[in-house]
């Protein structure tokens, strides 16, 4: 099956082509994003901290991403725990509905939230972006946490309960440590999604642009693009680091719960 392996390698080249170009242009000494390269420079990286609007948008995005990660992971824990441990009427439709944003086009989520916020006369801002991002991140958190809670051995909890722990202390002392890798993984994934999300932020951000919304504005000005490339390089490096940590946490969690690795966090 050598042709299949060859195809797989070609496919990886296709997948990584844009990302490989990013650092190349970020260090290129020219405002024209094309080959041939003209020379090496770190000028674009040093310009990043000297662009106040950019720094501000990074701060806005970080606050939104951290809040979204905490909110959506908390909601995800509730849903995944309820799904794995309890049976109750309307469980499947409720869980299905909570997972719906996973397949809904983001523009639909964005405009429908916008309509409601405008109808209620509420001001747009960071918090409205958080509301939208939490909605789309929760299904991802549930997907990750489902495997963490699903792999959990119920007899461990029963043992703690039989030995006199309360329901809450059992959760805190037994369940939480066992699913902690899943929680970390969910936090990191939702943080990454929120940091990168554009459409919902574009509609709901009001006057404080998030980083992707700011970048969107900059893409119209050719002379600003190298700085965008430099920033993109940093973001890619950061995402890869975060995802590697998330992946290690996920694998460790599966190993700790004694489950089998089925691969991938989706």
Partner 1 sequence: MFRNSETARGLTLIAPPALYALLLLAVPLLAIFAFSFWSQDFLTIDYTPTLNNYREAFSEPLYAQLLLRSVLIAGAVTLATVVLAFPIAYFVSFHVAPSRKSLWIFLITIPFWTSYLIRVFLWKVILGYNGVLNSSLLGLGVIDEPLTFILYNANAVVITLAHAFAPFAILPIFVSLEKIDRSLLEASRDLGENTVMTFLRVTLPLAVPGVVAATLIVFIPTIGDYVTPRLVGGPNGLMIANMIQTQFLKLNNAPMGATLAVIAMGIVTVLSLIFIFLNRRWLKGRKT
Question: Which 23-42 residues touch partner 1, going by CB under 8 A?
Answer: 25, 33-36
Residue with tokens 């951000």: 205
The Cα 54–Cα 63 span in angstroms is 14
- Residue 53 within binding range of partner 1, rule CB under 8 A: no
Of the listed pieces 58-66, 91-99, 151-159, 176-184, which binds partner 1 according to CB under 8 A? 91-99
Residue with tokens 């609007």: 53
Shorter beta-carbon distance to partner 1: residue 138 or 170: 138
- Residue 17 within binding range of partner 1, rule CB under 8 A: yes
At its nearest, how many Å lie between partner 1 and the CB of residue 149? 11
Binding mask 96-115 for partner 1 (x = CB under 8 A): -xx-xx-xxxxxxx-xxxxx
Task: For the beta carbon of residue 149, count every other beta carbon within 10 angstroms.
Answer: 21
Of the listed pieces 51-59, 148-156, 173-181, 235-243, which binds partner 1 according to CB under 8 A? 235-243
At its nearest, how many Å lie between partner 1 and the CB of residue 150? 14
At its nearest, how many Å lie between partner 1 and the CB of residue 104? 7
Q: What is the CA radius of gyration of the chain?
A: 22
Determine which residue in the list 45, 47, 198, 256 makes contact with partner 1, applying CB under 8 A.
198
Shorter beta-carbon distance to partner 1: residue 178 or 201: 201
Q: Which of 137, 138, 150 is nearest to 83 (CA)?
A: 150
Alpha helices in 27-153, H assignment, sequence order: 43-47, 52-85, 91-99, 106-119, 126-150
- Residue 18 within binding range of partner 1, rule CB under 8 A: yes
Shorter beta-carbon distance to partner 1: residue 53 or 104: 104
Binding mask 173-192 for partner 1 (x = CB under 8 A): -------------------x
Residue 31, SS3? Answer: coil
- Residue 239 within binding range of partner 1, rule CB under 8 A: yes
Determine which residue in the list 4, 92, 154, 163 makes contact with partner 1, applying CB under 8 A.
4
Determine which residue in the list 85, 159, 222, 241 makes contact with partner 1, applying CB under 8 A.
85
The Cα 46–Cα 34 span in angstroms is 21
The pair of three-digit structure tokens given for residue 58, joined into one six-digit string: 């990074």
Tell how far CA 221 is from the center of its chain: 28
Shorter beta-carbon distance to partner 1: residue 178 or 193: 193
The Cα 179–Cα 149 span in angstroms is 7
Q: How far is residue 114 from each of residues 55, 65, 111, 121, 204, measured CA to CA in Å?
A: 26, 19, 5, 10, 6
């Amino acid at each position: 099956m050598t042709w299949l392996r060859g195809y797989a390698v070609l496919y990886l080249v296709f997948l990584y082509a844009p990302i490989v170009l990013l650092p190349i242009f970020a260090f290129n000494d020219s405002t024209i994003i094309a080959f041939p390269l003209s020379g090496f420079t770190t000028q674009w990286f040093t310009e990043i901290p000297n662009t106040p609007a950019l720094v501000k948008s990074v701060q806005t995005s970080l606050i939104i991403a951290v809040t979204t990660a905490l909110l959506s992971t908390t909601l995800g824990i509730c849903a995944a725990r309820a799904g794995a441990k309890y049976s109750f009427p309307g469980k499947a439709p409720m869980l299905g509905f909570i997972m719906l944003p996973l397949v809904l086009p983001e523009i639909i989520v964005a405009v429908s939230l916008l309509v409601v916020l405008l109808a209620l006369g509420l001001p747009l801002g960071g918090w409205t972006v958080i509301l939208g991002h939490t909605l789309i991140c929760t299904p991802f958190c549930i997907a990750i946490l489902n495997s963490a809670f699903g792999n959990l051995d119920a007899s461990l909890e029963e043992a703690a309960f039989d030995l006199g722990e309360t329901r809450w202390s059992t959760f805190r002392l037994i369940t939480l440590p066992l699913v902690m890798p899943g929680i970390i993984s969910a936090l990191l994934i939702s943080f990454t999604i929120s940091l990168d999300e554009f459409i919902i932020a574009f509609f709901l951000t009001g006057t404080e642009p998030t980083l992707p919304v700011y970048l969107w504005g900059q893409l119209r000005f050719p002379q600003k693009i190298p700085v965008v490339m430099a920033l993109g390089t940093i973001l890619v490096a950061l995402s890869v680091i975060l995802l590697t940590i998330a992946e290690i946490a996920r694998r460790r969690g599966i190993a700790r719960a004694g489950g089998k690795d089925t691969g991938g966090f989706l």
